[in-house]
Structure formats: C-alpha cells, structure tokens
Amino acid sequence: MLYAILCYAHEETVFAWSKEEEATVMEKLQAVQAPLAKAGRLGPVGRLMPTTAATTVRKGRDEPLVLDGPFAETKEVLLGFYTAEFDSLDDAVAFSKELSAVNPGSSSYEIRPFYVFHPNEIKTAEGGSS
C-alpha cells in the first residue's frame, strides 16, 4: 500500500530553529529515510514553505475565492510530507515513530493511504532542490 505521511508541527517553533539546529534535525531525518530510499520504496518527500507563502482557493457562491494563507487557522500546520510504500500500516506507523523520535519540531504525523493519480515527474531546475 502507498502511504502519504503528513507531518504537522507548530510553525513558530520550527521556524525559530537556528541553522545548526535545522541541519542536525535534517541529517537525522535523512538517516531514517535512507533504508526506504535504498529499497526503492520512497517517493517524493516535500518540505512546505511557511504558511505565510500559502494561498487558498475556496469555493465561493459564484467564483472561487482566492485567500491568503492556509485554509484553516490552526495551531499546528502541515509542514512537510513523505510518500512511501509499506507492507502494512504497522510499518508505516513504525517509520513515522522513527521520524518523530528525531524531529523535535513535529507534533503529529498523519498516515494517509493514497492511490497514484498520475505518476508525473517535475522536470525543472527547481524540482530538484531540497
């Protein structure tokens, strides 16, 4: 089964990390992902920019409304996501626990199975940046 693992966190705290703190956390997260990537079971992994860079298109009565910011004002926001293949939910839970253990910024991981809609690939210079 394919899973999306969605990482939620307190944005204010995560964006208060110093460069060193950030680098340490990223390195540890990288180590957790490495075995999955090596087995060819890790799909795209994304880090979301701050919610201040977000725009929401919301269904209005006539035209959809274009709003600044994320959809709902919540304390915890979606900060990043992983896509990967796991044999069972237990494996996906175990992986999320490993991520959680090395990421002090995360407050929860939502595990959502997904279907591949289109296995598209982005082919731009930006697509490869981390």
Partner 1 sequence: MTDIAWIELALTAARPQALGALLRYFRDLDTAEEAFQEACLRAIRTWPDKGPPRDPAAWLIFVGRNSGVDQIRKRAKNQPLPEEAAFSDLSDAEEDIADRLDNAHYRDDILRLMFICCHPDLPNTQQIALALRIVCGLTVQQIARAFLVSESAMEQRITRAKGRVAKAQRGEGAVGFETPDVHERNARLQTVASMVYLVFNEGYSSGIGNPDSAAFCDEAIRLSRLLLRIFPAEPEMMGLSALMLLQHSRAGSRFDEAGQIVLLEDQDRGRWDRRLIDEALAMLDKAIRHRKPGPYQVQAAISALHARVASPSDTDWGEITLLYELLEKLSPSPVVSLNRAVALSKLKGADAALELIEPLAEKLDGYFYFHGVRGGLLMQTGRSDEARIAFDRAITLANSPAECAHIRMQLDRLGAGAGAGGG
- Locate 82 and state its tokens: 């992983």
- Please state the closest distance from residue 60 (CB atom) to partner 1, in A: 16
* Binding status of residue 64 toward partner 1 by CB under 8 A: no
* Binding status of residue 51 toward partner 1 by CB under 8 A: yes
User: In whole angstroms, how far apart are CA 80 and each of 44, 51, 66, 83?
Assistant: 11, 11, 23, 10
Residues 6+ apart with CB under 8 A from 64: 57, 58
The single-letter code of the amino acid at 121 is E
* Binding status of residue 69 toward partner 1 by CB under 8 A: yes
* Binding status of residue 23 toward partner 1 by CB under 8 A: no
Binding residues for partner 1, rule CB under 8 A, total 25
* Binding status of residue 48 toward partner 1 by CB under 8 A: no
Lateral strand order in the sheet of 42-47: 42-47, 76-85, 2-10, 106-113
- Locate 17 and state its tokens: 């990390």
Tell me which of 57, 67, 94, 101 binds partner 1, using CB under 8 A. 67
Which residues make up the interface to partner 1 (CB under 8 A)?
Answer: 10-13, 15-18, 21, 24-25, 49-53, 55, 66-69, 75, 104, 126, 129
